[in-house]
Chains A and B, each alone.
Chain A
Amino acid sequence: MNPDERVPLPPALRGLQFEPVRPLPPPGRRALLLLPPAVLVLFAASAFFGPRPDAAALGWLLGWGASTAETVLGLALLALALREAIPGRALPRGWIGAALGLSAALVAAVSVAAFAASPIALEARYFGYVTFFCISGTLSGALPLLLLGSVLCARAFPLRPGLAGLLVGLGAGLVSDSGWRLFCHYSNPGHLALSHFGPVLLAGLCGALVGRGVAAWRRGPRGAGRNVRPSPAKVGEKGENLP
């Protein structure tokens, strides 16, 4: 076919609306939209509930330094999700593995170092209350970034919506945990695994479900597709398009 010629479109493609659209900015630039809410989340828990009482024992490196690094990693996961949401820009498996591995390694290293610097174990009598408080606090902190990240992904066209959503959720969870740990002073590994990193994984799962749910809703019942089907074409007796 000569691309300089206009070819009559098949019936399925007639009647589409051709309103102008603005191309999405590159994924890295879109991720910057998440920076202000991420900073708010980083400061929120310690500003509202007060900083952890053992902050001096941790020092700046294991305190704000480690939390800042965790926030940066969370934002990196969110940026990767936004890139994954562009057709033809699928993330290589190696990148996904490296990002997740680095996140897990940082979190584990910080946890071990924090426990070594300031070993404060959660007493059994407070287990239920504190566990519930930390899980709900971390999840609540993750919610705004999870929603915003999901909207940004959905405005693109993720071909692997579950993966994009998983990265959004994990990124949001990491940012939330980075702020929560500046308030919660219990550093025993059991508490951290259950009440801090458990919600991060749960946020990831929620993100994946949201991503898949939005994609399924878009496809509509039985794959009919919402908001993309052309309006009924007016076709004359000889098959010509009518205005």
Chain B
Amino acid sequence: MGSPAQPNDELLRRLMVEYQGGSEAAFERLYAALAPTLLRYLTYSTREPARASDLTQETFLQMHRARRTYDPGRPVLPWALAIARNIFLMDQRKRRRRIQWDLLETDPPAPAPAPHEEGLLRDVEGALAQVPEAHREAWVLHHVSGLSFQEIADLLGASAGSVRIRSSRAAARLREILQAAGIGGARP
């Protein structure tokens, strides 16, 4: 399964430099270029499209605050995805705390019905949910967001070697799950 086309990094760097220079038009173009990639990453992480959309907007707000930290000599996507990942983790922590408080006071809510989805994408997303989080994250960042292992390592604070291992373990686990589900020839 190849990764979707990623925005051209040279273009992104140029837009970031203009954006740092105060250009609102550059920010709008950056939004057009980056939002689909960030939304995809956050959708895979949250598995809730509405929540992913909110988090994507929050990511751009935080990118606006952090724009002076972007180094024009470095690629844009790892920088943006690092912020997106942080937004996702903080949101997860907040939700866990809220769930703990809610459980103290009320009965747990009934699980929401799964949205109607079809095809291989649904199967892969379902299988991904069964992969350990650390392995899943490395796989998503490499195969979906298109980052290199070194960029993922810089984002996560790990070594490139361990990121490569996590990603290939996720791929192996996905293959097992999809083959057990009878999806022949699956090679994520």
Minimum C-beta distance from B97 to chain A (A): 11
Q: What CA separation (Å) do A7 and B35 show in the bound complex? A: 11
Which B residue sits closest to A5, measured CB to CB? B32
B159 within 8 Å of A (CB atoms): yes
Which of A5, A10, A155 has the largest number of chain B CB atoms within 10 A? A10
Stretch at the interface among A99-107, A120-128, A178-186, A223-231: A223-231
Docked complex Cα distance between A30 and B182 (Å): 56
Complex CA gap A2/B154 in Å reads: 28
Q: Across the interface, do B22 and A19 meet the contact criterion of CB distance under 8 Å?
A: yes
CB-nearest residue of chain B to A94: B159
Total count of chain B residues near the partner, CB < 8 A: 53
A78-129 with Cβ < 8 A to chain B: 85-94
* A89 and B33 alpha carbons, distance in the complex (Å): 22
Contacts of A2 in B (CB 8 A): 32
List residues 138-166 of chain B with CB under 8 A from any CB of chain A.
Answer: 151, 153-159
Interface pair B68/A21, CB less than 8 Å apart: yes
Closest-by-CB residue of B relative to A25 is: B71
B101 to chain A, nearest CB (A): 13
For the side of the interface on A, what is the size category?
A: 35 or more
B12-29 contacts to A (CB < 8 Å): 12, 15, 19-25, 27-29
Known A-B contacts A12-B57, A21-B67, A228-B64; A87 and B31 likewise in contact (beta carbons under 8 Å): no
Q: A3-B11, A12-B57 are in contact. Are A87 and B79 (CB under 8 A)?
A: yes
Q: Is the CB of B71 within 8 A of A26?
A: yes
Knowing A90-B156, A223-B94, the reply to whether A23 touches B78 (Cβ < 8 A) is no
Chain A residue at minimum C-beta to C-beta distance from B91: A223
List which A20-78 residues lie within 8 A (CB) of chain B: 20-24, 26
Is B72's CB within 8 Å of the partner chain A?
Answer: yes
Pair A87/B90 contact, Cβ less than 8 Å: no
Contact B83 A159 (CB under 8 A): yes
A13 on the B face (CB < 8 A) = yes
A229: nearest chain-B partner, CB-CB: B61
Q: Which residues of A contact B81 (CB under 8 A)?
A: 88
> Which residues in window 56-103 of B have CB below 8 A to A?
57-58, 60-62, 64-72, 74, 78-79, 81-83, 85-86, 90, 94
CA separation between A19 and B64, bound complex, in Å? Answer: 11
Bound-complex Cα distance A219 to B90 (A): 11
Taking the closest CB of chain A, its distance from the CB of B159, in whole angstroms, is 5
A23 near B61: Cβ-Cβ < 8 Å = no
Within 8 Å by CB of A1, from B32, B72, B79, lies B32
With the chains together, A145 CA to B151 CA distance in Å? 31
Q: Quick check: A13 and B31 within 8 Å, CB to CB?
A: yes
Q: Are A87 and B69 in contact (CB under 8 A)?
A: yes
Residues of B within 8 A of A (CB): 7-8, 11-12, 15, 19-25, 27-33, 35-36, 57-58, 60-62, 64-72, 74, 78-79, 81-83, 85-86, 90, 94, 151, 153-159
Inter-chain pairs besides A3-B30, A3-B32, 5 sampled, C-beta below 8 Å? A3-B15, A6-B25, A7-B31, A20-B21, A22-B68
